[in-house]
Amino acid sequence: MTNKKTPRILVIAGSDSGGGAGIQADIKTITMLGGHAMTAITAITAQNTLGVSAVHPVPTEMVLAQIDAVVGDIGVDAIKLGMIGSAFTAEQVALRLEGIDVPIVFDPVMIATSGAALADDATIAAFGRLMDRATLTTPNLPELKRLTGDDDPIAGALSLVSRHRCAVLVKGGHEEGDALADALIEEDNLTSWQGQRIDTTSTHGTGCTLASAIAFHLGCGESLARAVERARLFVRMALHEAPGLGHGPGPLGQQGVRLDCGAGPRLNQVTVTGKDYAEMTAFYRALGLRQIVDAPENHYARFESVGGATFSIQIDPEEVISESTAVYFECDDLDQRVERLARAGTAFEHGPRDQPWMWREARLRDPAGNTVFLYKGGEARRYPPWRLIESVAPAATAE
């Protein structure tokens, strides 16, 4: 067991049957960041990357019952609001949130990426009640203009901050050009971020993903600016990892963002020294690593493993290779992989062996003499029978 508190994030939003946006994107985001996602579903939609073909709002009393059920038992550290479903639901949710004192991120969903309307005029008019309760509102540029009627996004955001006393994140994704800028406008501060547009059509669910990631980090106790900064990184990595599904704007790849974001130090990069660039790169490619940097002129190469961890080599013919350190690559197909590599000419010091520490290992050396293990630890890697026992922190409850 662990004494690390898991952030509990409640998402009040609609369901996307295509899995690109809505509740599905929210759950994937919160889960990949390490939180516990809870839901109050406000609407069921039939949609895919090409559009929304049907919307069925969930009755307001059922939305409220979902909120009460999870908050009353599990508790909550932050809330994300997305598609609301109806004006009455918006008003009743706003009333219910008055008794829950946690950060709230409101993504005022009005139109799907495909262009389908997801909120009518009455519902949009009721959004003010939710912004009154929100810590942060995250409209895209068309949504910001619809909420304020102002062509100037900064002026429009300032008016929302003044009227509702919530911060506003002005998102620049709908701007033209490759340069993007986002601005966090608070009552007494303005923070901006610049970046380059990522060349992808898989942008369905970016707003949901960003808002959920911000809510997660606020639930961890981060400052608002820091939460936005870390959430932006998650979204950008998910855009890079997009799987390219569907015939229209596709979903993000939240499932591919593992070691790029998170609290505390993360072991995601190891470098070893080699003597011959071509031999070293060929060796690690043969093991199954994917080379992502090829810089022989700089005597450097980098590889990526499943899960996102990177491994690199630097070339120095004069370096003395130490035997005191070993690099381990876990393989679920250990025996089959070792047999395949051996048949292809890779020399092993010993083949797969069961070890007293409950791992199965095969040992070899790279061309420079660095010790390398291919192994299968499974559950015993992180949870061996002799793992140190830690106390469990009591779960906090929302007042």
Of 14, 18, 19, 205, which is the active-site residue? 205
Q: Which of 204-213, 218-227, 254-263 has the lowest mean pLDDT?
A: 254-263
CB–CB of 11/194 below 8 Å?
no
Whether 325 shows a pLDDT value over 60: the answer reads: yes
- Could you tell me the residue ranges of all domains in the chain? 8-256, 269-382
Per-residue model confidence (pLDDT) at position 302: 98
Whether 205 is catalytic is yes
CB–CB of 362/317 below 8 Å?
no
pLDDT band for 260, please (50, 70, 90 cuts).
confident
Per-residue model confidence (pLDDT) at position 223: 96
Sheet containing 179-186: which strands, arranged edge to edge?
51-57, 36-48, 8-16, 78-81, 104-106, 136-137, 167-170, 179-186, 189-196
CB–CB of 39/108 below 8 Å?
no
What pTM does this model have? 0.88
Of 60, 113, 138, 203, which is the active-site residue? 203
Q: Which of 189-198, 284-293, 381-390 has the highest mean pLDDT?
A: 284-293
Average pLDDT, the chain: 91
Q: Which of 149, 201, 134 is nearest to 173 (CA)?
A: 201
Q: How far apart are CA 397 and CA 271, in angstroms?
A: 44
Per-residue model confidence (pLDDT) at position 78: 98
Per-residue model confidence (pLDDT) at position 117: 58
Whether 398 shows a pLDDT value over 60: the answer reads: no
Whether 89 shows a pLDDT value over 90: the answer reads: yes
| Three-state secondary structure readout of the chain | CCCCCCCEEEEEEEEECCCCCHHHHHHHHHHHHCCEEEEEEEEEEEEECCEEEEEEECCHHHHHHHHHHHHHHCCCCEEEECCCCCHHHHHHHHHHHCCCCCCEEECCCCECCCCCECCCHHHHHHHHHHHHHCCEECCCHHHHHHHHCCCCHHHHHHHHHHHHCCEEEECCCCCCCCEEEEEEEECCEEEEEEEECCCCCCCECHHHHHHHHHHHHHHCCCCHHHHHHHHHHHHHHHHHCCCCCCCCCCECCHHHCCCCCCCCCCCCEEEEEECCHHHHHHHHHHHCCEEEEEEHHHCEEEEECCCCCEEEEEECCCCCCCCCCEEEEECCCHHHHHHHHHHCCCCEEEEEEECCCCCEEEEEECCCCCEEEEEECCHHHHCCCCCCCCCCCCCCCCC
Whether 383 shows a pLDDT value over 60: the answer reads: yes
Whether 393 shows a pLDDT value over 80: the answer reads: no
Of 89, 206, 281, 371, which is the active-site residue? 206
Whether 123 is catalytic is no
Query: Which tops the pLDDT comparison, 127 or 9?
Result: 9
Q: Which of 206-210, 258-262, 281-285 has the lowest mean pLDDT?
A: 258-262
pLDDT band for 321, please (50, 70, 90 cuts).
confident
What residues form DSSP beta bridges with 203? Answer: none
Domain 269-382: give its CATH code.
3.10.180.10
Q: Tens digit of pLDDT for each residue in 288-299?
A: 999 999 999 999
Per-residue model confidence (pLDDT) at position 68: 97
The number of C-alpha atoms within 13 Å of 260 and in the hemisphere containing its C-beta is 22
Whether 208 is catalytic is yes
Of 171, 209, 274, 371, which is the active-site residue? 171
Q: Which of 238, 185, 169 is nearest to 209 (CA)?
A: 238
Per-residue model confidence (pLDDT) at position 323: 81
Q: Tens digit of pLDDT for each residue in 148-178?
A: 889 899 999 999 999 999 999 999 865 666 8
Of 19, 85, 172, 208, which is the active-site residue? 208
Per-residue model confidence (pLDDT) at position 4: 66
Per-residue model confidence (pLDDT) at position 125: 82
Whether 102 shows a pLDDT value over 90: the answer reads: yes
Whether 51 is catalytic is no
Domain 8-256 CATH (choose: 1.10.600.10, 3.40.190.10, 3.40.1190.20, 3.40.50.720): 3.40.1190.20
Of 172, 207, 250, 377, which is the active-site residue? 207
